[in-house]
Amino acid sequence: EKLWQQEIPLLDPTKYENRRVFATAPDGRQVPMSIVQRKDLPAGGPRPCMLYGYGSYGICVDPGFNPHILPYVDRGMVYVMANIRGGGEMGRYWYEEEGKYLTKRNTFLDFIACAEYLIQEGITAPNLLATEGRSAGGMLMGGILNMRPDLFRIAVAGVPFVDVMNTMSDPSIPLTTGEWEEWGNPNEWKYFDYMLSYSPYDNVREVPYPDILITAGLHDPRVAFWEPAKWASKLRTMNTNKESKVLVKMDLEVGHFSASDRYRYKREKAFEQSIVLEKLGLADVKPMK
């Protein structure tokens, strides 16, 4: 029995459908994904798709109404949220035992498995697949782009924690020692070696990367502005794809959580989404009624 539902002006929830599916990780774990799309989409595929992920600190990213995905979904895109290890959606073990310290690579491998599932099932294709993550989710973006750049058309990395080794090796940075509880203490060789294996900045390779949009804030106390800046510089140097671009949007007035003014925040989301829609060939597509 429904007790209460928020009324959203001009929104008809009956036009949308959602479902839950599972991708199989390399070690056999079943990784859940929530999929949202319009009910009135024509049959067939593949379709443009946005795959979102976070997967750190045991944080649960639960399915729920998000108005900011409507510009995608109303233009015929499929929106997917992956509940990968490192988050807490499947219980505490999903984080404590299988998604931090010396099992952190599961986070990246789970997300890659989710992308592969969407492609294998004909839901989308590499040239139609966008991906997005912020903060530790930005680290996720850096990791999966180093491992499987061929799976994606464009990636949006917001305030990305990408220079893992340098930041975690500098205890003079205010948040560093507390973060050892998440990633490990690099003064111990086993953690140093393991962290080095996935640190996005340290694993940039000479391969063809897709288009990448990086956003950052000059006053960010959690992810210092130089991390995304130096990552972008290295990507531009190493990228062998002459057709793709590495774009950086550095906001000189904000910190880690972007603009506090809601209208400015919406303008920032509109900027990010306009880039994604352009790269997926949807810039001139009008939203469905």
Tokens representing 45 are: 């595929």
- d(C-alpha 198, C-alpha 208), whole Å: 18
- Closest to 77 (Cα-Cα) out of 54, 55, 46: 46
Q: Is the dihedral of CA 55, 61, 67, 71 positive or negative?
A: positive
Helices 189-198 and 105-120, packing angle to 10 deg: 30
The kind and range of the H/E element at 289 are none
Instruction: Decide: 158 and 215 in contact? Cβ < 8 Å.
Output: yes
Select which of 74, 202, 233, 256 is catalytic. Answer: 256
Select which of 34, 56, 135, 244 is catalytic. Answer: 135
Select which of 110, 211, 220, 251 is catalytic. Answer: 220
List, edge to edge, every strand of the sheet that includes 16-24.
Answer: 16-24, 30-38, 78-82, 49-52, 129-134, 154-158, 211-217, 246-251
Q: What is the dihedral of CA 248, 235, 274, 66, to 10 degrees?
A: -90
Q: Is 219 a catalytic residue?
A: no
**Residue 208 DSSP SS3:** coil
Q: Is 68 a catalytic residue?
A: no
User: How far is CA 275 from each of CA 231, 239, 255, 271, 279, rounded to the nearest angstrom?
Assistant: 20, 19, 22, 7, 6
Q: Is 135 a catalytic residue?
A: yes
Instruction: Decide: 268 and 253 in contact? Cβ < 8 Å.
Output: no
Instruction: Decide: 62 and 90 in contact? Cβ < 8 Å.
Output: no
Beta strand 246-251 pairing with 211-217: parallel
**What value, to the nearest 5°, has the Cα angle with vertex 119 and ends 48 and 19?**
75
Give catalytic residue positions: 135, 220, 256
